[in-house]
Each structure stands twice: as C-alpha cells, then as structure tokens.
Amino acid sequence: MIRRGYFNYLLTLEPNFDKFLVQANNIYWHSEFQPEIMYKLYTFFLDIGLRYSEIPTNESKTFSFSFDDNYMSWKGLSNFDHKLTFYLNTCQYNVNFDETAYVRSIGHVSDYKFLPLKDLCDLGSRHNIGFHGTKHHKHSRTDRSILVNDFETQELFFRKIGICNVVNQYAINYGMRRFLNPYFVKYLRQKNINIVLAEPGMLKYTNSQFINRYNWVDSISFENNLKLMTFNKHFYLPITPYRL
C-alpha cells in the first residue's frame, strides 16, 4: 500500500514533483505480469491526485491501464472495479490461422496461450476492446490495401460476435511512430479512429495527435519504470535507491 507519505517524500527530493506528473499516464502490458503491481500503481496514481480513465487518453492528470495482442492474464484482475482496454489481434479465430507466423510476429517463441473465443466475448462484455489488427503487421512494410482489409476484417469480426465495448482506438503494431504507414493513418483518421502508440518516454506529448502508452516492465523496479515513463529522466534518478 502506497500512502500519501510517499508523495511527500518525493516532494522533499524534487519540489516540483507535482508539476511533472500532470500528464496522461497510459500504462500497458503485453506479457504475463503481476496484478499486484497494477493495484500498487493504481493506488499510487490516485494518491498523487490523478484520475483513472477507463480508456487511454491524452487528458492531463489521468492514468489508464491496457493490454496488447492476445492477452491471457486478465482473469487475475477480477477484483479491479474499472474497465481495462485490450487491444487484440483476432487472426487466431480464422480457420486458416498460421500459429507459428503469428506467435513469431508478436515476439513470443513457444507455449503461447490463446484466448478462447468465449472468453473474448466475456472480456468484451466487461472491458474495452480496441483494434490491433486481425494480424500483427509491421505497418511500414505493408501496403495500405492490406492494412485496410485487415482492419475491416477485424471490425466485421467484432460486430459478428457481438462485442459491445469496442472503442474507436487502434494500437499500432510494435507501437513505434517510425512504423506508421501514412496512408493507413489517413484512413484511420477518416474513420474517426484514434491512433495509439507505445513509445517509452513519449508520454509528455499530451497534446499530440497520437495517444502514447508506456510498456510497464515487471523485471525492473517500480521507480525505474516511473523514471522510464517520465519525460524528465533526470528527475527520477535521485529516488532510484529507495524501495517501496
């Protein structure tokens, strides 16, 4: 449990602390993770005066939690009272699914567990489902027509299986601005779909046209994650020896 005392402690190290964390803090996971870290983060952000946003946003003084690809661990989060956002791929529900190619494309090597279709429907009735493409294409290397078709196939699929909480956000595969396909970006804009990126250290761009997220790394400390998240990298350096 993080108490207000921790915030006061941060203020003694950096009197302007409260000015740094007024940005939109969108955190995401795309592999197995420890739910208690998420609860700890939730308490920490609330304690320093941020508001939980049920979908990733650029609004200042907010934070949100989301997941990518074909996330399996959401069942451990049943005690969390708010909506989370899952940007999912859906090629695994096709009859001609190439499992090896897909698992490679999301950077896993073996033992990848897929979300069964009935669990996807259950997930979509309780949480938000965002677009992440039917397949996990690298956009910069893919033709616009393939990306459009891939998107429309996913849109149709969500409609067909009756997911009610589909949000108008598309998390770009691999998350990087440099992988954007300008023609596909234009297409998404015309459809009023917000583009979501995942670039560490970019959360400062709250007025940017893209929503930025930070990939929380469970293998490094809480403070080091905060340090990587923030735009002011020097600010967090003095507090790294401190353990929560």
By the rule CB under 5 A, 150 interacts with Zn ion: no
Spacing of C-alpha 41 from chain mean position: 14
Return the number of other C-beta atoms located less than 10 Å from residue 128's C-beta: 21
Among the listed ranges 63-71, 96-104, 192-200, 230-238, the one in contact with Zn ion (CB under 5 A) is 63-71
Q: Which is nearer to Zn ion, 44 or 175 (CB)?
A: 175
Instruction: Centre a 10 Å sphere on the Cβ of residue 161 and count the other Cβ atoms it contains.
Output: 14
Is residue 181 a contact partner of residue 147, using CB atoms and an 8 Å limit? yes
Q: Compute how many residues bind Zn ion; rule: CB under 5 A.
A: 2
**Which position among 26, 29, 65, 68 is part of the footprint of Zn ion (CB under 5 A)?**
68
**Stretch of 38-46, 66-74, 111-119, 154-162 lying at the interface with Zn ion (CB under 5 A):** 66-74
Q: State the nearest-atom distance from the C-beta of 238 to Zn ion, in Å.
A: 34
Stretch that binds Zn ion, among 1-9, 62-70, 186-194, 233-241 (CB under 5 A): 62-70
User: Which lies closer to Zn ion via its Cβ, residue 101 or residue 237?
Assistant: 101
Nearer to Zn ion, 42 or 175 (CB): 175
- Smallest distance, Å, CB 142 to Zn ion? 14
Per-residue binding string, Zn ion, 69-108, x by CB under 5 A, is x---------------------------------------
User: Can you tell me the distance from the alpha carbon of 171 to that of 149, in angstroms, rounded to the nearest whole number?
Assistant: 16
User: Rule CB under 5 A: which residues touch Zn ion?
Assistant: 68-69
